[in-house]
């Protein structure tokens, strides 16, 4: 990542308490609490609006007038069976949560359609850390997998999806896991991309951008083979590519 391009905004604040290190956006959070990262806290005040299950549980939170998403960082693959959520600590700025938090801050400053970062937490051990991230929730939005199980998305929307991905690529934003679960449409037809864990800023060179698109195409084919009602077709991919190339 080109760190020179990602300048820490003045509203980024630090909270520290022993082995706990947090960053939060003071322009969004007027009063910060480390309890924000505790699902039990939100459950105790009846503020959990819903959950989603993947590697772990993601919590959808109501905080005053805002809607937040709280996620814990979990390992995947074989190593995740042995070590579910601990990462080797080499400095706060190198942690997955801080990197994603700051990349989101930068993308918001570039008017890219992503969730707004609220806060992140690093809980340090002797040589390892665990991490959490809170972002804004994209309201009234569904991911493409959910939509394509009941609806047919028109060509104009597919072209818009391609144009949106191109905006990220033109700004040098690499998404480590661009798939159809991470592309959202809201009820106004606006397109958002989420989950930038291990994402970074890169110099646009064509190779990684194509790898991103190849990964996305594989995800559509995977869901097509997995879900009997999935309405995706190759012609829609051509429309997406048309929008991307425009």
State the average pLDDT over residues 80-109: 93
Domain count, the chain: 2
**CA dist 52 → 55, 60, 94, 125, 246 (Å):** 10, 8, 27, 28, 35
Range of the domain at 110: 3-136
In this structure, are 93 and 150 located in the same domain?
no
Task: Out of 66, 85, 177, 197, pick the active-site residue.
Answer: 177
In this structure, are 227 and 177 located in the same domain?
yes
For residue 3, what pLDDT is reported? Answer: 44
In this structure, are 152 and 199 located in the same domain?
yes
State which of 136, 170, 191 marks the end of a domain: 136
For residue 9, what pLDDT is reported? Answer: 67
CATH number at residue 175: 1.10.510.10
State the average pLDDT over residues 14-31: 94
pLDDT at 7 over 70: no
| pTM of this structure | 0.93
CB 59 within 8 A of CB 45: no
Residue 158, class by beta-carbon neighbours within 10 Å (0-12 exposed, 13-18 middle, 19+ buried)? buried
For residue 8, what pLDDT is reported? Answer: 66
For residue 226, what pLDDT is reported? Answer: 96
Query: Known catalytic residue: 177?
Result: yes
For residue range 150-168, list pLDDT tens digits in order: 999 999 999 999 999 999 9
Count of CB atoms within 10 A of residue 189's CB? 10
pLDDT band at 80 (very low <50, low <70, confident <90, very high): low
For residue 11, what pLDDT is reported? Answer: 86
Specify the DSSP element, H or E, that contains 187: none
Tokens of 7: 């300048």
pLDDT band at 49 (very low <50, low <70, confident <90, very high): very high
State the average pLDDT over residues 229-235: 95
State which of 81, 113, 136 marks the end of a domain: 136
pLDDT band at 86 (very low <50, low <70, confident <90, very high): very high
Q: Calculate the CA dihedral of residues 37, 58, 218, 190 and round it to 10 degrees.
A: -90
State which of 114, 136, 158 marks the end of a domain: 136
For residue 146, what pLDDT is reported? Answer: 97
Percent pLDDT > 70 in the chain is: 96
For residue range 180-217, list pLDDT tens digits in order: 999 999 999 999 999 999 999 999 888 999 999 999 99
For residue 192, what pLDDT is reported? Answer: 98
Residue whose pair of structure tokens reads 């707004």 in the numeric block: 116
Percent pLDDT > 90 in the chain is: 88
In this structure, are 97 and 182 located in the same domain?
no
Computed over every residue of the chain, the mean pLDDT equals 94
Which residues, including other chains, have CB under 8 Å from residue 20's CB and lie 6 or more apart? 34, 121, 122, 123, 124
Three-state SS for 11?
coil
Tokens of 113: 């359609």
């Amino acid at each position: 990542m080109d760190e020179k391009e990602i300048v820490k905004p003045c509203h980024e604040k630090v909270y520290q308490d022993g082995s706990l290190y947090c960053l939060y956006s003071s322009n969004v959070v007027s009063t910060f609490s480390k309890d924000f990262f505790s699902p039990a806290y939100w459950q105790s005040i009846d503020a959990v609006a819903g959950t989603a299950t993947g590697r772990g549980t993601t919590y959808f939170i109501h905080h005053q007038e805002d809607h937040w998403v709280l996620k814990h960082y979990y390992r995947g693959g074989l190593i995740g069976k042995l070590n579910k959520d601990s990462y080797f600590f080499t400095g706060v700025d190198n942690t997955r949560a801080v990197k994603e938090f700051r990349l989101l801050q930068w993308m918001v400053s570039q008017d890219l359609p992503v969730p707004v970062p609220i806060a992140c937490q690093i809980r340090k051990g002797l040589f390892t850390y665990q991490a959490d991230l809170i972002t804004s929730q994209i309201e009234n939005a569904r991911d493409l997998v959910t939509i394509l199980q009941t609806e047919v998305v028109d060509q104009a929307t597919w072209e818009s999806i391609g144009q949106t991905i191109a905006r990220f690529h033109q700004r040098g934003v690499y998404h480590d896991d661009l798939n159809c679960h991470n592309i959202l449409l809201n009820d106004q037809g606006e397109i958002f991309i989420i989950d930038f864990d291990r994402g970074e800023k890169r110099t646009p060179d064509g190779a990684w951008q194509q790898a991103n698109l190849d990964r996305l195409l594989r995800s559509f084919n995977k869901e097509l083979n997995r879900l009997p009602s999935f309405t995706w077709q190759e012609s829609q991919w051509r429309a997406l590519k048309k929008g991307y190339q425009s």
